[in-house]
């Protein structure tokens, strides 16, 4: 790890952060074109990397786009290019070289040796930001787990931060290397964190079930990081979620009750924002948080119309949604920041996405219309109905379980009373049993 530059303030780091941290370092960004199909897309990804680097506290001094279809197994980029980059890094006196893709442990090691500087990849950078922003117990556990899973294969020859805390009496067997000790310690820690997360996930699942029993429809805010999800939640509910002009402000889900214009009460929840190629270690670690999204009745997808690549952000969000099993949840698109966005960009997004609504979460413009649209969509999706089914009509009860979601089933004197969430389309078949 490079020594801190003089006069630069450094925050105290946790052991797991030490070799990921890129705070206030001079950074050289290397675009790789990974996962992109054109130079423009690769540039957009590199723009995003610059934002991520900035959020992590690094200062981007230069950026190079080095497209490569098949990465070199040893150094990712070719040997000649690597030598050029080394010269550039030296000339610019950078502390860290950040690659816009995931590097294999060997590639990272080789590049560090070659450059004589820290080399960080996109995954480590995003993990670092998450580590800085996590504040809840669950959030911190999720991030640490993702970091450890990332670090484990990269242990060899790295700082071995954990070993610096002392291996402890009794942990070192005869002939055992420090590396093995470290690996075992990390594995134990991973297991412990996983257990902790399972418990937290179970609590979350219980809460979710309780919400289901109350039969309130749930709407999940999703979207690219910095799109304005938390601002919108704050605008329409009494929530006081932190809003900031930086990436990944929100890591922990917040849920609030919201009264729609028609009087229906729904639960609206805010959650972590997405980016292109969200590291799989994070998606894995945040699975229980993201399940809230997959479980929602409706997704309110917020897109920042002021960003230069709104469409690409929408696509990136949908990719992550599919990854977390939320690809089939109905979605309503809120085209946000109408107060400042370029009207042409606004129109393009609205035109390309029928049913989308223009809003400003900041000024409140269009928000009433958006809530109307949410209410209409929810009504078209499912209704919560009370039915009274005479004993002897077990076939109807079975059909209800098949067609809808039975929320409550109570046995009364001469009939079973059922509260169920049903798609509007199926409702007609049960008309004669509906009460109230």
Ligand X SMILES: Nc1nc2c(ncn2[C@@H]2O[C@H](COP(=O)(O)OP(=O)(O)OP(=O)(O)O)[C@@H](O)[C@H]2O)c(=O)[nH]1
141 binds ligand X (CB under 6 A): no
Q: Using the rule CB under 6 A, which residue among 66, 218, 225, 356 binds ligand X?
A: 225
285 binds ligand X (CB under 6 A): no
249 binds ligand X (CB under 6 A): yes
Q: Using the rule CB under 6 A, which residue among 69, 238, 245, 395 binds ligand X?
A: 245
Contacts of 188 (CB under 8 A, 6+ apart): none
The nearer residue to ligand X, 36 or 225, going by C-beta atoms, is 225
Segment 311-350, which members bind ligand X (CB under 6 A)? 336-337, 339-340
310 binds ligand X (CB under 6 A): no
The nearer residue to ligand X, 277 or 337, going by C-beta atoms, is 337
40 binds ligand X (CB under 6 A): no
Q: Closest distance between Mg ion and the C-beta of residue 77, in Å?
A: 35
71 binds ligand X (CB under 6 A): no
In the complex, the residues that contact Mg ion under the rule CB under 5 A are: 230, 249-250
244 binds ligand X (CB under 6 A): yes
Q: Closest distance between Mg ion and the C-beta of residue 249, in Å?
A: 5
Q: Which residue number has the CB closest to ligand X?
A: 273
Q: Which does 336 bind (CB under 5 to 8 A by kind): ligand X, Mg ion, none?
A: ligand X
CA distance readout (Å), 400 to 59, 172, 215, 424, 432: 59, 61, 16, 13, 13
Binding site for ligand X (CB under 6 A): 223, 225-231, 243-245, 247-250, 273, 336-337, 339-340, 360-362
């Amino acid at each position: 790890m490079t020594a801190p530059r003089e006069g630069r303030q450094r925050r105290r780091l946790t052991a797991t952060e030490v070799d990921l941290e890129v705070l206030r370092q001079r950074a050289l960004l290397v675009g790789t074109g990974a996962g992109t199909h054109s130079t423009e897309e690769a540039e957009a990804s590199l723009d995003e990397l610059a934002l991520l680097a900035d959020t992590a506290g690094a200062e981007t001094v230069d950026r190079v786009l080095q497209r490569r279809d098949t990465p070199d197994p040893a150094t990712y980029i070719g040997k000649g290019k690597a030598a050029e980059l080394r010269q550039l890094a030296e000339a610019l006196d950078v502390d860290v070289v950040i690659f816009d893709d995931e590097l294999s442990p060997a590639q990272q090691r080789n590049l560090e040796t070659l450059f004589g500087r820290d080399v960080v990849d996109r995954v480590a950078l995003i993990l670092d930001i998450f580590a800085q922003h996590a504040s809840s117990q669950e959030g911190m556990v999720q991030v640490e787990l993702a970091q450890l899973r990332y670090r484990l294969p990269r242990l060899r020859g790295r700082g071995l931060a954990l070993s610096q805390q002392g291996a402890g009496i009794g942990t070192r067997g005869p002939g055992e290397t420090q590396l093995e000790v470290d690996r075992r310690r990390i594995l134990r820690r991973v297991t412990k964190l996983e257990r902790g997360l399972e418990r937290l996930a179970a609590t979350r699942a219980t809460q979710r079930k309780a919400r289901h029993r109350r039969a309130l429809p749930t709407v999940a805010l999703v979207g690219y990081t910095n799109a304005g999800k938390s601002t919108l939640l704050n605008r329409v509910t009494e929530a006081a979620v932190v809003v900031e002009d930086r990436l990944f402000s929100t890591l922990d889900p917040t849920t609030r009750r919201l009264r729609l214009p028609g009087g229906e009460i729904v639960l609206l929840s805010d959650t972590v924002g997405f980016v292109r190629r969200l590291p799989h270690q994070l998606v894995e670690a945040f699975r229980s948080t993201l399940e809230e999204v997959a479980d929602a009745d409706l997704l309110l997808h917020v897109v920042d119309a002021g960003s230069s690549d709104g469409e690409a952000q929408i696509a990136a969000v949908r990719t992550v949604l599919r990854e977390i099993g939320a690809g089939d949840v109905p979605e309503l698109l809120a085209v946000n920041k109408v107060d400042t966005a370029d009207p042409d960009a606004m129109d393009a997004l609205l035109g390309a996405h029928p049913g989308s609504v223009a809003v400003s979460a900041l000024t409140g413009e269009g928000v009433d219309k958006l809530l109307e649209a949410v209410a209409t969509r929810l009504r078209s999706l499912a209704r919560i109905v009370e039915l009274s089914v005479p004993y002897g009509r077990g076939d109807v009860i079975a059909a209800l379980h098949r067609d809808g979601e039975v929320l409550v089933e109570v046995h009364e004197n001469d009939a079973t009373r059922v509260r169920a969430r049903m798609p509007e389309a199926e409702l007609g078949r049960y008309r004669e049993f509906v009460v109230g």
